[in-house]
Amino acid sequence: VPCSSSSLAVSLKAALIIQNWYRGYKARLKARQHYALTIFQSIEYADEQGQMQLSTFFSFMFENYAHVHKEELELRKQSLESEQDMRDRHDYVDLIDVPDSYNGPRLQFPLTCTDIDLLLEAFKEQQILHAHYVLEVLFETKKVLKQMPNFTHVQTSPSKELTICGDLHGKLDDLFMIFYKNGLPSENNPYVFNGDFVDRGKNSIEILMILCVSFLVYPNDLHLNRGNHEDFMMNLSSYFQLHGKRILQILEELYAWLPIGTIVDNEILVIHGGISETTDLNLLHHVERNKMKSVLIPPTETNRDYDTDSKHNKVGVTFNAHGRIKTNGSPIEHLPKHEWEQIIDILWSDPRGKNGCFPNTGRGGGCYFGPDVTSKILNKYQLKMLIRSHECKPEGYEICHDGKVVTIFSASNYYEEGSNRGAYIKLCSGTAPRFFQYQVTKATCFQPLRQRVYTMESSAIKILKERVISRKSDLTRAFQLQDHRKSGKLSLSQWAFCMENILGLNLPWRSLSSNLVNIDKNGNVEYMSSFQNIHIEKPVQEAHSTLVETLYRYRSDLEIIFNAIDTDHSGLISVEEFRAMWKLFSAHYNVLIDDSQVNKLANLMDLNKDGSIDFNEFLKAFYVVHRYEDLMKPGVTNLG
Amino acid sequence: MIHKDKERIIVAEFHKKIKEAFEVFDHESNNTVDVREIGTIIRSLGCCPTEGELHDLIAEVEEEEPTGYIRFEKFLPVMTEILLERRYRPIPEDVLLRAFEVLDSAKRGFLTKDELIKYMTEEGEPFSQEEMEEMLSAAIDPESNSIHYKDYITMMVIDEN
């Protein structure tokens, strides 16, 4: 059959059309994927920032709240000496017995590699480790960590390569994957885990246990660096509450004893976050790192005075894991401000392309450091490379600053199924670092790209909408201010402006608009449609919507504050405490809610009419309902 | 006069839209993106250049000495022109359907997997192996090992809206 040149040209053109169309489609899918990631990341950092701001609230609260617990303060002062660092096994481990009926793994101290295997098998079967063992492992780990220096120095060789893992955030499947691909830790297979082992994922305790047990068995070959989430205040959520106050108490100290970083072959610095232009490694080698309790407990100004003038009997005030307001008769409990800031920089900073060093406005702590800062600091200490974690990267790792800074992130699917790969690095002196990627997936094979993108996108839009509904009053006011003609419509530009300003999220609003609002044929936005198909469930009918919205918005802050106030960890606070705390909270956060509203609500929440509120129940009662979905689990978002 | 004002507003809106799309790929927040992402950015803004056209565009926005990165300052005016002139308009659904029908000379309503692979990897601007596998994973009906292009197009169109 003769093939005319014109029919050939036509089929050529047809193929071209299809290819062109497909590439466009694929690119738009990729862009949507990026948008979803941007949403997840912005919200995550905004939340972190919100938590950081709690620290100023706490300072404010101490000044105004301490008098309520005056008697307790007196008692505490007296017992301070006996309590300080006198915590013994008796206070923790021996108080809990393991019953004969317990079917879970039983660890044998001193631990051996058998115990590591035992634990891994047990956790694969989803067994739970008894609290007795949890406490014992944590207690022993703390003891050994205390002997470690601030920076561990490690040497590699061809027969002993070092593996570096980044954030795991409680994602056990990723740890299993790493051990499967790379082998278990041992004398010949050393590891560095670069912080953020816990929080967000649902297996924080399991990961902590595996890492601590491995550390106890191979203390010279399993290295743990502190991350910004190894911070008992950041863990003060109901997740850890479930595991009891004793665990929190030990964690408070264990976290503070985690080394700050690792130095490999005298040329690679491994730390969780980053650096600043003032980073002083010599100083950091010598700080008393265990005094860096939490990012939410900044040093007060008085600490500096105390150092120079011991005659003054200044008393600093701090929280500890049992929420008790502790007085510190001595200065040794706190780091001087500049040392505290040095550590914050290490744990919280992020590299950026712009030269210079700027406050990290995304997270509210640490800084953004440019390539010039990297060069300066690396040169100053004769180092070649900085390996850090702290930021989720789609490929599990990213190289920047001309090859001098590597980000390594080991929690795959961090935001959502399909959001990103995880990775680890293998180092050997004399050769270039090698990267290994993976992605844990529930399905046996990958879903097509469009399905993965759709899953991510729906998830991201969902949590974004929850943000939007939590600011409904403020947004409505802003919209109406712009809507001069009271038409119910705004230009896309005006709508985007309001969203960005009120929510404080730097997102591609125009590109996202079709997912968030109704747009008419002229391209104008029906702004009230921003709130359609979603509402906040009222815990009691009588509660005023603005109050409900405010409480929903500050839900996670309030959770931390309530847990901190709850001095006996009973899960209950008195109506009086609630009222006092709320007064302070609303004053500090400029929340304009009528006191009587709050009082009414407090009384309504006092279900047993016995003067106490179960605050976890209280907070769980505020949750968002998405109209076309099953009821969401209260208090839980996709960020874990 | 009115025309000029209106155009200024339109241009301002385009600028914001382009900036948004660009920033999403600006990982280091220094107003540059990897040159390999430019195609994605342009397409995410609703344009459909061919690979050849894309190649020329990249040459326009690259530095004199290519660095592998494209700066926003160079990208913005070029992209604004494209949007103003409504260049590289997306392929309408019916044109796409006709393209499939042309390849389906026997008018069966489908193409076999092998036929699709042959056309996509041998003609026009050939697919890479990765692109081919990706398209197959969503397009091919595993039972018949063929692509029923009318259904496929309908599904894709729903996706995009």
Nearest CA in chain B to A447: B137
Active site residue A338: no
- The bridge status of strand A422-427 relative to strand A162-165 is antiparallel
Please give the average per-residue pLDDT across A73-87, as a whole number: 40
What CATH class has A471-531? Answer: mainly alpha
Interface test with B, best of A12, A13, A17 (most B CBs within 10 A): A17
- Taking the C-alpha atoms of residue A313 and residue B142, their distance in angstroms, rounded to an integer, is 79
Asked if A34 contacts A393 with a C-beta cutoff of 8 angstroms, the reply is no
Asked if residue A503 has pLDDT above 90, the reply is: yes
pLDDT of residue A76: 39
Residue A605 and residue A90 in contact, taking contact as beta carbons nearer than 8 Å: no
β-pairing, A261-264 vs A367-369, is unpaired
Residue located via tokens 């005298």: A266
Which has more confidence, A246 or A464? Answer: A464
Which range, of A61-65, A226-230, A290-294, B13-17, averages the lowest pLDDT?
A61-65
Q: Three-state secondary structure along chain B? A: CHHHHHHHHHHHHHHHHHHHHHHHCCCCCCCEEEHHHHHHHHHHCCCCCCHHHHHHHHHHHCCCCCCCEEEHHHHHHHHHHHHHCCCCCCCCHHHHHHHHHHHCCCCCCCEEHHHHHHHHHHCCCCCCHHHHHHHHHHHCECCCCEECHHHHHHHHHHHHC
Task: State which residue of chain A sits closest to B160, comparing Cα positions.
Answer: A25
Question: Is the minimum CB–CB distance between A404 and chain B shorter than 8 Å?
Answer: no
Q: Do A20 and B48 touch (CB under 8 A)?
A: yes
**Cα–Cα distance list, A306 to A56, A100, A235, A259 (Å):** 21, 53, 30, 27
CB A231 within 8 A of CB A255: yes
Given a cut of 50, is residue A407 above it in pLDDT? yes
Structure confidence at residue A377 as a pLDDT band (50, 70, 90) = very high
**What residues in B contact A448, CB-CB < 8 Å?**
134, 137-138
Question: What does the domain layout of chain A look like in residue ranges?
Answer: 83-300+336-438, 471-531, 545-631
pLDDT value, residue A627:
67
pLDDT surpasses 80 at A322: no
Our CA-based measurement puts residue B11 at a distance from the nearest CA of chain A, in whole angstroms, of: 12
A456-497 pLDDT, tens digit per residue, is 899 999 999 999 998 999 999 999 999 999 999 999 999 999
Q: pLDDT band for position A347 (50/70/90)?
A: very high
Q: Which residues of B touch A496 (CB under 8 A)?
A: 16
pLDDT score recorded for residue A89: 59
- Comparison of pLDDT for A308 and B93, the residue scoring more: B93
- The single residue listed with the structure tokens 């992020």 is A350
Taking CA–CA distances from B13, the nearest residue in chain A reads A493
CA distance B74 to B35: 12
Q: Does A358 touch chain B (CB under 8 A)?
A: no
Query: Is A23 part of the contact surface with chain B (CB cutoff 8 Å)?
Result: yes
Contact A26, A34 (CB under 8 A): no
Contacts of A21 in chain B (CB under 8 A): 48, 90-91, 96
Residue A240 pLDDT exceeds 80: no
Residue of B nearest to A491 (CA): B13
Q: Model confidence at A266, in pLDDT bands (50, 70, 90)?
A: very high
Nearest chain A residue to B118 by CA distance is A15
Using the Cα atoms of residue A140, residue A144, residue A150 and residue A156 in order, give the sign of their dihedral: negative
Predicted confidence (pLDDT) at residue A74 exceeds the cutoff of 70: no
pLDDT at B65 over 70: yes
| CATH topology agreement for domains A83-300+336-438 and A471-531 | no
Instruction: Kindly give the pairing relationship between strand B69-71 and strand B32-34.
Output: antiparallel
Contacts of B49 in chain A (CB under 8 A): 20
What is the model's pLDDT at position B125?
A: 92
Identify residue A74 by its one-letter amino acid code.
E
Binned at pLDDT 50, 70 and 90, residue A309 comes out as: very low
Cα–Cα distances (Å) from A325 to A145, A233, A564, A615, A616, in that order, read 27, 14, 9, 19, 21
Contacting A residues, span 467-526, partner chain B, CB-CB under 8 Å: 492-493, 496, 506, 508-511
Of A22, A398, A454, the CB nearest to B135: A22
Cα separation, A306 vs A441, whole angstroms: 54
pLDDT bracket for residue A633 (50, 70, 90) = very low
Collect all residues of chain A within an 8 Å Cβ-Cβ radius of residue B17: 510-511
Q: Of B110, B49, A133, B145, give the one whose Cα is nearest residue B38.
A: B49
pLDDT higher than threshold 80 for residue B34: yes
- Shortest alpha-carbon distance between residue A321 and chain B (Å): 38
> What is chain A's mean pLDDT, rounded?
82
Q: Of residues A416 and A619, which shows the higher confidence score? A: A416
DSSP states of A93-153: GGGSPPPTT--S----SSP-HHHHHHHHHHHHTT----HHHHHHHHHHHHHHHHTS-SEEE
Would you state the pLDDT for residue A90? 57
Of A351-355, A485-489, A505-509, A580-584, minimum mean pLDDT range: A580-584
Q: DSSP string of A369-393?
A: E-HHHHHHHHHHTT--EEEE--S--
Give A212 or A621, the one with higher predicted confidence: A212
d(CA A21, CA A11): 15
Counting beta carbons within 10 angstroms of the beta carbon of residue A67, is it exposed (0 to 12), middle (13 to 18) or buried (19 or more)?
A: exposed
Query: Of A18, A354, A393, A407, which to mutate for an interface test with B (greatest number of B Cβ within 10 Å)?
Result: A18
Distance of CA B1 to the CA centre of its chain: 35
What's the pLDDT band for A624 if we cut at 50, 70, 90? confident
CA A602, A608, A611, A616 dihedral sign is negative
What digits encode the pLDDT tens for the residues A110-130?
A: 999 999 999 999 999 999 998
Q: Judging by DSSP bridges, how do beta strands A151-154 and A261-264 pair with one another?
A: parallel
Torsions phi, psi for A196 (to 5 deg):
55, 50
Q: What pLDDT was estimated at residue A446?
A: 64
CB-based burial of residue B120 (10 Å sphere; 0-12 exposed, 13-18 middle, 19+ buried)? buried
Q: Which two tokens stand for residue A625?
A: 């309902």
Cα separation, A54 vs A59, whole angstroms = 9
Q: Are A49 and B59 in contact (CB under 8 A)?
A: no
Distance linking the first and last C-alpha atoms of chain A: 64
The pLDDT value recorded for residue A65 is 55
Task: Of A80-84, A99-103, A487-491, B2-6, give the lowest mean pLDDT range.
Answer: A80-84
- Rounded Cα distance, A163 and A156, in Å: 10
Q: Which CATH number fits domain A545-631: 1.10.238.10, 3.40.50.300, 2.130.10.10, 1.20.1740.10?
A: 1.10.238.10
What is the mean predicted confidence (pLDDT) over B130-136? 90
Mean pLDDT, residues A212-232: 95
Residue B125 contacts residue B82 (beta carbons within 8 Å)? no
Radius of gyration of chain B (CA): 19
Residues A83-300+336-438, CATH architecture: 4-Layer Sandwich (3.60)
CB contacts of A400 in chain B (<8 Å) are 28
Residue A94 tokens read as 């021996």
pLDDT at A237 over 70: no
Domains of chain B: 1-85 (1.10.238.10), 93-157 (1.10.238.10)
Tell which of A19, A42, A357, A505 to mutate to test the B interface (max B CBs under 10 Å): A19
Under the banding of pLDDT at 50, 70 and 90, the label for residue A18 is very high
Contact A215, A224 (CB under 8 A): yes
Neighbours of B59 (CB within 10 A): 9
Indicate the pLDDT class of residue A310, thresholds 50, 70 and 90: very low
How confident is residue B156, by pLDDT bands cut at 50, 70 and 90? confident
Considering only A171-180, A413-422, A607-616, which range has the smallest mean pLDDT? A607-616
Nearest CB to B24: which of A24, A34, A352? A34
Q: Which of B 9-38 lie inside 8 A of A, CB atoms?
A: 12-13, 16-17, 20-21, 23-25, 27-30, 32
The mean-pLDDT minimum among A586-595, B40-49, B137-146 falls in: A586-595
Which residue has tokens 């509203």? A597
> Of A13, A22, A367, which to mutate for an interface test with B (greatest number of B Cβ within 10 Å)?
A22
Asked if A166 contacts A423 with a C-beta cutoff of 8 angstroms, the reply is: yes
pLDDT bin (cut points 50, 70, 90) of residue A77 is very low
Distance CA A165, CA A421 (A): 13
pLDDT for the residue numbered A540 = 66
Per-residue pLDDT at A315 exceeds 60: no
| pLDDT band at residue A608 under the 50/70/90 scheme | low
What residues of chain B, 66 to 85, have a C-beta less than 8 Å from chain A? none
pLDDT at B96 over 50: yes
Residue that the structure tokens 């500049």 belong to: A338
pLDDT top residue among A363 and B75: B75
Spatial distance between the Cα atoms of A631 and A534, rounded to a whole number of angstroms: 11
Of B98, B100, B125, the CB nearest to A16: B125
Tens-place pLDDT, residues A130-149:
888 998 999 999 999 999 99
Compare all CA atoms of chain B with the CA of A27 and give the residue at the minimum distance.
B40
> Which B positions 108-137 lie with beta carbon below 8 A of chain A?
119-120, 123-127, 131, 134-135, 137
Number of Cβ within 10 Å of residue A149's Cβ equals: 11
Chain A to chain B, count of Cβ pairs less than 8 Å apart? Answer: 131
What single letter denotes the amino acid at residue A527? Y
Q: Taking residues A582-610, what's their average pLDDT?
A: 75
Mean pLDDT of all residues in A75-95: 48
Mean pLDDT estimate for chain B: 90
Residues A543 and A618: their CA atoms lie apart, in Å, by 13
Give dist(CA A622, CA A619) in Å, integer: 6
CA atoms of A373 and A275, how far apart (whole Å): 8
The one catalytic residue in A132, A223, A229, A390 is: A229
Partner-chain residue, chosen from B43, B50, B134, that has the shortest CB–CB distance to A449? B134
- Residue of A299 and B1 predicted with greater confidence: A299
Kindly state the average pLDDT of the residues A560-575: 72
Structure-block tokens of residue A571: 């899960």
Of A13, A19, A28, the CB nearest to B120: A19
A31 vs B44: CB contact, 8 Å cut-off?
yes
Q: Look at the pTM and tell me if it is higher than 0.90.
A: no
β pairing state of A350-351 and B69-71: unpaired
Q: What is the pLDDT of residue B101?
A: 92
